[in-house]
Structure 1
């Protein structure tokens, strides 16, 4: 009898073990909470006007409207509506993934990573700060976010071959870009839009922003390198050891592979495509449709160089898409949360209430209050330019009333907008990046939460400093 009990006990203990819910379960739970909130939060709206091609909220125009609580069916409809709303991002993810599926099929990645591994032997850690500075400059000066996603497919296998893991590969791109985007000094989509609405000279306050950018980036580099060195020393402690192993197996044999002329031409096409992408974004205002078209052309060109048949290209494209199904669908489900809040007409009410809280704070705490409000708003409005258009028409005049400079109000906006972009599920480009890297959101959160806390504290300190010195 005792032996039977002993046999059963491990099974019982295993059943009692709690597992983190699937990301779809977490997101659907948030959708339900958002739907319930539409029954308790009064419906309201701000008047909006078109100005210089932007939709601007009219300060002082908030008014109560007829309630529109989410119905039972609306909860489930929101998933489809969210996928329709985010269709451009979802299909962008598939196209980028499919294109790099063609690149992987050429064998160029295997040849490149083996070649680089040999050249960087013993100096692998230097690659992390160099690449993160590159992405941080892109985020700070060009406002790059979605545009950096394709790099993940190149960098993840590279760092794994160098002895790190897929978490490091994802972090190099996501945290580098995030540091630049959060503490940007010339981002036209956040700083430029917000300063324009606040009637400040575009990109004014550059010197202090560069200092904040350097500090933010240094902290992020330190955090990634600290983890990378531990994984390099003992791969077993990697949070994504199994996932990284799958990436290696997908690359094929780990034996020395020659980096052939065809491989070099394929990477030359990649480099030319990325340069074209940068020129298109900066000079011609390209966005997802143009970038997607560019990558399809790139994939076909690489396939031709590798002497692949068109059928083989198509099969490789599908293989590349298949590994991103989960990540792409997560983006659509996450957008369902925004659909519920928008259709329920409670988003503007939430904004109005948060702005009201800031208005009653003493001058010494008002700047910090603005920062906290912007942090909360970014959970429901993940778009940087969208949040600027929504909040700055209210925050700019409010800053005058509470004794905070408008420049500080813009700084509070950009920190509040940027930090959560590397962990909130409603951030489309972030979720797409994790999908490409093969890193689950739950494991990412387990790894990243101390840095998130550090970044939020840094943001609060910087906003407080700006307020104390009368940042103009």
Structure 2
């Protein structure tokens, strides 16, 4: 039994089993359908038009074809994600990101009076990376760097791990232009790419400020009273191993080169072109991917990567996203089976019955709750978007919740549970690198988790009036 449960904890296996279960439901669940209309280039389900239709059971053949159709329907998004993987890996291989972070970190190490700005500055930097291009798994690379750095500044292992880990997660979960969440969700919702970024920018700033403030408060507390640290005993051993005495830090042995600066300038120029194209010409997935590809080539050139190094980095970046792409196709296959079996609208009708009597604000908060529960089983931002948006978007239309608000509820639900759910691979990897037990971490993080959930519920209220 334990072996079976272990296999089902595999996200890919779980999604595939869900798809088969949905296929089986097409034999038993009443088939139904909403009438749909086209308006302003978008497809809407007509409230009150639900009616039963002839059953269309989906057998094993249809179930096995569904993931292939999933690749077909997500082809443009998959290509986009592969290019994003190329971009980040090329920039990483130039050494620009690593050097910049070390520069920021060691500046504070050598300027004690500004030390209180160390945690918020670094957290905002990682949060920005999460918000702009979906940094998540890549944070594991920086944890071994920041733990000794935090210890050398008088903080603890928790702070060292959390600066890259929680910092990037905060940006990822409250992003204003994250291609893996906002980009994919808005594509499915038939909204202009990255539209509504103004309020999302406010949301990102609020969440990042709260998280950075929390860890700054905690960091200063353990710096003054080391015994109050979650990892107090382990940190004594680590400081001894690292020869850290009285907060003495080794001298700086690196510099931000002209090549690094040009890499960052090419990225910023690309972002400028991106926003101009989106606002002026309503660029969509293909055009945005082309901009990212151009920035990738520019970063490789300015970063002085050799031809083989650049191509290897691009291939490695694309390979790192293959798992995400497969998960997206599998997640999409669930929607395909439910749609072809005419039970997707039956689900919608049942959910509408449950949420229809709620005020749109309460309905959006209920959607946040549903997304949070689903995230336990599908701890993938893009995979959850592909799976849930085809259901949640028309549901929002029917219960008078705007599509932008539905996406915001999805972002919160997909994001804030990740630091404490055992099915999130980045979380388990970060804890393993830091040597912190899962139960101790969850118990410690629970206070901040409650703050994040309450803040999410509150920030969904203005969304109703803005969108």
**TM-score of the superposed pair, with normalisation by structure 1:** 0.63
CA distance in 2, matches of 1:102, 1:471: 38
The answer to whether the Cα contact below 8 Å between 1:102 and 1:302 also exists between their aligned partners in 2 is yes
Report whether the alignment pairs 1:339 with 2:336.
Answer: yes
In the alignment, which residue of structure 2 is the partner of 1:8?
none
Q: SS of the residue aligned with 2:353?
A: helix
Query: Which residue, out of 315, 318, 322, partners 1:321?
Result: 318
Q: Mapping of 1:79-118 within 5 angstroms?
A: 79-118=67-106
In the alignment, which residue of structure 1 is the partner of 2:23?
35
Q: Mapping of 1:315-464 within 5 angstroms?
A: 315-359=312-356, 368=362, 371-372=365-366, 375-376=369-370, 382=385, 390-396=394-400, 413=406, 416-422=409-415
CA distance in 1, matches of 2:201, 2:84: 32
Q: 1:35 to 1:255 in 2, by over 3 A?
A: farther
The answer to whether the Cα contact below 8 Å between 1:367 and 1:463 also exists between their aligned partners in 2 is yes
Unaligned runs of 5+ in 2: 110-114, 148-158, 236-250, 375-382, 419-423, 433-437
CA distance in 1, matches of 2:461, 2:274: 38
Q: SS of the residue aligned with 2:81?
A: helix
Which range moves more in the overlay, 315-324 or 122-131? Answer: 122-131
Cα deviation, residue 395, structure 1: 1.6
In the alignment, which residue of structure 1 is the partner of 2:153?
none
Query: Which residue, out of 25, 37, 49, partners 1:61?
Result: 49
Q: SS of the residue aligned with 1:55?
A: strand
CA distance in 2, matches of 1:295, 1:422: 24
Q: SS of the residue aligned with 2:43?
A: strand
After superposition, what is the alpha-carbon deviation per residue over 1:14-72, rounded to whole angstroms, capped at 9, x for unaligned? Answer: 99996873221222222223223323321111111111111122121111111122212
The answer to whether the Cα contact below 8 Å between 1:166 and 1:438 also exists between their aligned partners in 2 is no
CA distance in 2, matches of 1:213, 1:114: 24
CA distance in 2, matches of 1:28, 1:16: 14
Q: SS of the residue aligned with 1:258?
A: coil
CA distance in 1, matches of 2:136, 2:283: 20
Q: 1:274 to 1:159 in 2, by over 3 A?
A: farther
CA distance in 2, matches of 1:228, 1:159: 16
In the alignment, which residue of structure 1 is the partner of 2:238?
none
**TM-score of the superposed pair, with normalisation by structure 2:** 0.64
In the alignment, which residue of structure 2 is the partner of 1:11?
none
Q: 1:57 to 1:73 in 2, by over 3 A?
A: same
Q: 1:455 to 1:304 in 2, by over 3 A?
A: closer
How many residue pairs match? The answer is 393
Cα deviation, residue 173, structure 1: 4.0
CA distance in 1, matches of 2:462, 2:304: 59
CA distance in 2, matches of 1:55, 1:264: 45
After superposition, what is the alpha-carbon deviation per residue over 1:198-255, rounded to whole angstroms, capped at 9, x for unaligned? Answer: xxxx99xx9xx9998887665555677689999x9759999xxxxxxxxxxxxxxx99
In the alignment, which residue of structure 2 is the partner of 1:141?
none
Unaligned runs of 5+ in 1: 1-13, 137-144, 197-201, 239-253, 397-405, 426-433
CA distance in 2, matches of 1:181, 1:224: 23
Q: SS of the residue aligned with 2:275?
A: helix
In the alignment, which residue of structure 2 is the partner of 1:161?
145
Q: SS of the residue aligned with 1:120?
A: helix
After superposition, what is the alpha-carbon deviation per residue over 1:335-377, rounded to whole angstroms, capped at 9, x for unaligned? Answer: 2222222222212111112222345x5x7x8964674267548
The answer to whether the Cα contact below 8 Å between 1:387 and 1:417 also exists between their aligned partners in 2 is no
Q: Mapping of 1:124-203 within 5 angstroms?
A: 124-128=118-122, 130-131=124-125, 148-149=132-133, 161-163=145-147, 168-169=163-164, 171-179=166-174
Which range moves more in the overlay, 260-269 or 373-382? Answer: 373-382
Q: SS of the residue aligned with 2:44?
A: strand
The answer to whether the Cα contact below 8 Å between 2:99 and 2:254 also exists between their aligned partners in 1 is yes
Q: SS of the residue aligned with 2:37?
A: strand
The answer to whether the Cα contact below 8 Å between 1:114 and 1:256 also exists between their aligned partners in 2 is no
